[in-house]
Amino acid sequence: MRHTIRHGGCFLGVAGCCVLRDGDHGRAGADQLADQLVDIVEDERFVDRTMIMSMDQRALGRILERRTGPEWRVGYCVF
């Protein structure tokens, strides 16, 4: 993800979308995945251009525990 953000793979740096990989990684794995995602997006100063979507409610819940401001666009992916 860092590479994609740094090198223009996210719509030429204008917008981004982070899709959390869904799977059976348990509570600890979901928390770790969410923590890493938040850290990367913040480190790369990409919060205002990122929408985080997933079908993993555990991971989304962890992100919403850590970051609740309006600049964090987080949603459950339903299709």
pLDDT category at 52 given cuts 50, 70, 90 is confident
| pLDDT digits 0-9 by tens, 57-70 | 888 899 999 988 88
pLDDT at 65: 92
- Give the strand order in the sheet containing 73-76: 16-19, 50-54, 73-76
User: Given its phi and psi angles, is residue 63 left (phi above 0), alpha (psi -120 to 50 degrees) or beta?
Assistant: alpha
pTM: 0.71
User: Given its phi and psi angles, is residue 77 left (phi above 0), alpha (psi -120 to 50 degrees) or beta?
Assistant: beta
pLDDT at 12: 43
pLDDT at 54 over 70: yes
| pLDDT digits 0-9 by tens, 2-36 | 666 665 555 444 555 565 555 555 667 788 888 98
